[in-house]
Structure 1
């Protein structure tokens, strides 16, 4: 994986941990309204997205019919928070309350799985040559699946800041 993507993954995750580690568990699980997610649920969603992204990249690498698709501007799509995106069922968070440390551990575990998985890819050029369908973006080159992990996390960090301000 290229150093820039690695740096972005690391920096974004550190920013996320800083945002949530100052909260108490009650704030962490508080919802502004019944139809919204709590900060804990947003974080659990990020864990699920990271794990689902590993599966998607893995499937894309194994799919012999997978070919390069048009590159997308992942930043402009995901960071535009005026457009609400509906999370697919597979990445919807649990409704049960979470402890902050529990979520930090889950985030750490999912990131470790991602980094371990990426380190096993022998021919990284395949990440640019193959694509998989992303639920919000459409066909996406596999290297951009890595990019969408930290950009998606940045999107939700902004949401978390808004939720914290509303507490």
Structure 2
């Protein structure tokens, strides 16, 4: 089961980089409609939510004592329901600025590589050591991989919608 979600994660992360690469410098920073992020801001949001998360997978953890993917389907249903609008936690809201396309894509690709290496080389059945108040607290490392996968897929959908408008 974990190899399948890791493959999905790798595919979703690769799709993000490919999507962002398909914009030109002007389009990637163009606001598609009032109240929306630009494609670059979506990329930056993904970077901020993924940067250094690889450390979570290397950290010591406690056994789950339950099925390690017990919450995975619920996460999938919530995150892949594109009809619902979600609010991002403040610490991963992208800055209101123009981003350099090449730097954004390079930093995101590097974070992706670090994360994929971490999830591929660890026991995902343990409880993820998350801080108090984190909505995923109590989730296994495997469930965190599911969350990251579906979160990335959700934002790839968003980037595709932005692309339709600005290109």
- State the TM bucket, normalised to the shorter chain: 0.7 to 0.9
Deviation (angstroms), 1:141:
2.0
Q: Flag structure 1 segments of 5+ consecutive residues without an equivalent.
A: none
Distance (whole Å) between structure 2 residues aligned to residue 68 and residue 51 of structure 1? 29
Deviations 1:26-74 (A, max 9, x none): 110011234221000001111111126435555xx5455x855752422
More strand per residue = 1
Count residues with an aligned counterpart. 160
Task: Report the counterpart of residue 115 of structure 1 in structure 2.
Answer: 116
Contact 2:50 2:115 in 1 (8 A): yes
Partner of 2:100: 99
Residue 37 of structure 2 is matched in structure 1 by: 37
Distance 1:79 1:5, change over 3 A: same
Question: Does the CA-based 8 Å contact 1:129-1:141 persist in structure 2?
Answer: yes
Distance 1:44 1:150 in 2: 16
Question: Cα–Cα, structure 1 residues 119 and 165, in superposed 2: closer, same or farther, change >3 Å?
Answer: closer
CA contact (8 A) 2:17 2:109 kept: no
Deviation at 1:101, TM superposition (A): 1.5
Q: Whole-Å Cα distance in 2 between the matches of residues 52 and 81 of structure 1?
A: 27
Contact 1:78–1:155 (8 Å) recurs in 2: yes
Q: Return the alpha-carbon distance in structure 2 between the equivalents of residues 91 and 158 of structure 1.
A: 18
RMSD of the alignment, in Å?
2.7
5+ long unaligned stretches in structure 2: none
- TM-score, normalised to structure 1's length? 0.79
